Amino acid sequence: MTQTRVLTGITTSGTPHLGNYVGAIRPAVAASLTPDVESYYFLADLHALIKVQEPARVQRSTLEIAAAWLACGLDPAKVWFYRQSEIVEIPELAWFLTCVAGKGILNRAHAYKAAVDKNRAEGEDDDAAITAGLFMYPVLMSADILVFNAHKVPVGRDQIQHIEMARDFAQRFNHLYGEHFVLPEAQIEEAVATLPGLDGRKMSKSYDNTIPLFAPREQLKKLIYSIVTDSRAPGEPKETEGSALFQIYQAFASEAETAAMRRAFADGIAWGEAKQALFERIDAEIAPLREKYEALMAQPEKIEAILIDGAKRVRERYALASMKRLREAVGLRDLSRAAGPSAVAAEARRALPVFKQYREADGRFYFKLADGERVLVQSQGFASPKDAGQLIAAVKSGRQDLDALLAAAEPLDAAQREEAAAALAAIVRAEAEAEAAKAGAAP
Ligand code: TRP
């Protein structure tokens, strides 16, 4: 039985904070212990270059995030743990995918569209200050996933579109070059809470409201005491609903502890006292991890060695072989084994739309012109299979044209007609080339 491959990427563009811990690190480390799952965790440092163009910051963030995941219990002996930039097959595959990705699909990516909308709102040119890197983000992400043929990708809602794009690019590639890619599925973590930040909005670097995961104890305390609360005095009942403090507490506490805190709110606990309880609760969980983190940060060469080793092993196990197959598939091949013209024509025919003939329950004979799963032309019923077959042979050889075909088919609108015309032209051309190759090959 093949194990389910689950893959997670972490962009190395910041310092890990409590929101990352609760929303990503803690659940992912727990999931990495699931049996029958092969887990991939990687530092998406190539993605980081899209946002961060300060080299020292890229390096620092990569180190901090790697140390954080290891400190929180990720075991590089049990999971694949590596840096994206060391899997050189990823950017190579990203180019293959770039060449099948529809530009129109990328135009619709949320992050790119948001950047365009912002430019418009500010009266700038649509693409002002937008790099091609931001535009191509989903293609690089697809390569991360497809190079290992991952089955599942745990993501937040904001990333679902990227997984759909990866499926689309994989499908197009498969259609052109054969079934090379598994279509990955997004795994939405419903249960995982998003943590509010100091100001009550979602904890995020872009709101500047984060609590660093490994802030020293005193700084952690100071930050927790700065979480916004309302102005209710000690003794006044407090609302748990909408309280950032309560929500953060809940993310760290057991059910019993949460229930007790809920009662304390109703009984009018003073904010200072609630903050002290929150601080102690978080510190109890984080302190042992912080110790490991600090030990790791003091030995960056150890982290470097772990990442190099992970990349080396996962490349040897998967990436090298799959890239070798994919290079072959797209035609980046050894020239000494060059295909003759008839093989070229045969291969061209394989990727083409095809006519399929079949019989329906009504006893009549039909055909359709299909491009992969898509039906371009659907015929009407024929009394005999021969009539359908003769019409198909005539249009394929160019003796009859598209109008003759469509006269015996369900009506098409202008756009569908154009597509059918292009498909038919490609078939006619390939047939002619195959004929010519046969004639040339004859003695
Ligand atoms: N886009 C992801 C994020 O910002 C990071 C990422 C890069 C990723 N490549 C990936 C996630 C591949 C899952 C799979 O969170």
**In the structure, how many helices (H) and strands (E) does the chain have?**
19, 8
User: Tokens 């007790």 belong to which residue?
Assistant: 260
Query: Hey, do 4-191+299-330 and 214-294 end up sharing a CATH topology, with the first three levels equal?
Result: no
Fold assignment, 4-191+299-330: Rossmann fold (3.40.50)
pLDDT of residue 191: 67
Task: Determine which residue's CA is closest to atom 9 belonging to ligand 1.
Answer: 141
Instruction: Pick the closest to residue 238 from 264, 265, 276 (CA basis).
Output: 265
Backbone phi, psi, residue 211, to 5°: -115, 110
Burial 98-129 (b: 16+ CB within 10 A, else e): bebbeeebbeebeebeebbeebeeeeeeeeee
The radius of gyration computed from the CA coordinates of the chain, to the nearest angstrom, equals 29
Task: Determine which residue's CA is closest to atom 7 belonging to ligand 1.
Answer: 9
Report the atom number in ligand 1 closest to the C-alpha of 159. 1
What is the CA(9)–ligand 1 centre distance, in A? 4
Instruction: Pick the closest to residue 168 from 176, 408, 289, 312 (CA basis).
Output: 176
What is the CA(44)–ligand 1 centre distance, in A? 7
Helix or strand or coil: residue 219?
helix
Task: Determine which residue's CA is closest to atom 15 belonging to ligand 1.
Answer: 10
Backbone phi, psi, residue 124, to 5°: -90, 170
Report the atom number in ligand 1 closest to the C-alpha of 156. 15
User: Tokens 């990823």 belong to which residue?
Assistant: 90
Domain ranges of the chain: 4-191+299-330, 214-294, 341-441
Kindly give, in sequence order, each residue whose CB lies less than 8 Å from that of residue 137, ignoring residues fewer than 6 positions away.
47, 50, 109, 111, 112, 162
Kindly give, in sequence order, each residue whose CB lies less than 8 Å from that of residue 281, ignoring residues fewer than 6 positions away.
249, 252, 253, 257
Instruction: Pick the closest to residue 37 from 2, 70, 72, 73 (CA basis).
Output: 2
Kindly give, in sequence order, each residue whose CB lies less than 8 Å from that of residue 403, ignoring residues fewer than 6 positions away.
none
Out of 50, 144, 205, mutate this one to test ligand 1's pocket (max ligand atoms within 8 Å of CB): namely 144
**Ranges of the chain whose pLDDT falls below 50:** 443
pLDDT of residue 194: 82
Interatomic CA distance for residues 280 and 221, integer angstroms: 9
The answer regarding whether domain 214-294 maps to CATH 3.40.50.300 reads no
Report the atom number in ligand 1 closest to the C-alpha of 84. 9
Task: Determine which residue's CA is closest to atom 11 belonging to ligand 1.
Answer: 9
Interatomic CA distance for residues 210 and 383, integer angstroms: 72
Report the atom number in ligand 1 closest to the C-alpha of 141. 9
With a Cβ cut-off of 6 Å, ligand 1 is lined by 7-9, 11, 44, 47, 141, 144-145, 153, 155, 159
Count of other CB atoms within 10 angstroms of residue 16: 23
Strands (E), 294-380: 354-359, 365-371, 374-378
Out of 13, 47, 206, mutate this one to test ligand 1's pocket (max ligand atoms within 8 Å of CB): namely 47
Interatomic CA distance for residues 167 and 105, integer angstroms: 12
pLDDT of residue 430: 84
Q: Could you write out the three-class secondary structure of 44-72? A: EHHHHHHHCCCHHHHHHHHHHHHHHHHHC
Kindly give, in sequence order, each residue whose CB lies less than 8 Å from that of residue 440, ignoring residues fewer than 6 positions away.
341
The answer to whether the predicted template modeling score (pTM) of the entire model surpasses 0.85 is no
